[in-house]
Amino acid sequence: MGAEMTRLSTGAPGTGGISVFMGQVRGGPDGLESLTLEHYPGMTEKVLTDLAASAMERFSLLGCTLIHRVGTLAVGAPIVFVGTASAHRAEALAGTHFLIDRLKTGAPFWKCEQYQDGRRVWVEARDADDKAAASWD
């Protein structure tokens, strides 16, 4: 992710604030082994592009990067990278917050958890994520 940070920090003159969020597969005492993320390629890229464009305009961003991995990922593996650059920190921080909230609910990803005991559980949408995304309306 160092290359993405460099691109954000040197991409536009006037950049004064950079904000980054990186999410990873969360482990715990329940024996989660991995997480498989599925998506519809053409649809997913369009949603990510539209989200980035919306954030760029809404928060006057000078740069924006969204990376979301798919496939099977082990506990501790990075899943998502959201980075924003702006003239001032407030816009960069708000842009990152907006993007991760909207990405959680608006992008067409399906997640299946695999456990050490052989269980496979599809992850359901959470009310808290829907409320966070709706707070930006």
In this predicted structure, what is the pLDDT of residue 56? Answer: 96
User: What CATH number is given to the structural domain containing 80?
Assistant: 3.90.1170.40
pTM, whole model, 2 decimals?
A: 0.90
d(CA 46, CA 107): 9
d(CA 51, CA 36): 23
Task: Report H helices in the chain.
Answer: 2-10, 41-58, 89-106, 127-134
In this predicted structure, what is the pLDDT of residue 18? Answer: 94
Q: Is the pLDDT of residue 43 over 80?
A: yes
pLDDT, tens digit, 9 for 90 and up, residues 53-111: 999 999 999 999 999 999 999 999 999 999 999 999 999 999 999 999 999 888 999 99
Q: Which residue has the higher pLDDT, 8 or 100?
A: 100
Residue 48: phi and psi, rounded to 5, are -65, -40
DSSP conformation class of 76? T
How many domains in the chain? 1
Burial of 49 (0-12, 13-18, 19+ CB in 10 A): exposed
Q: Is the pLDDT of residue 1 over 90?
A: no
In this predicted structure, what is the pLDDT of residue 73? Answer: 98
Banded pLDDT at 114 (limits 50, 70, 90): very high
> Contact 110/122 with Cβ under 8 angstroms?
yes
In this predicted structure, what is the pLDDT of residue 70? Answer: 96
pLDDT, tens digit, 9 for 90 and up, residues 23-40: 999 988 899 999 999 999
Q: Is the pLDDT of residue 2 over 90?
A: no
First to last CA, the chain: 30
Task: Provide the domain limits for residue 37.
Answer: 2-134
Q: Is the pLDDT of residue 3 over 90?
A: no
In this predicted structure, what is the pLDDT of residue 68? Answer: 95
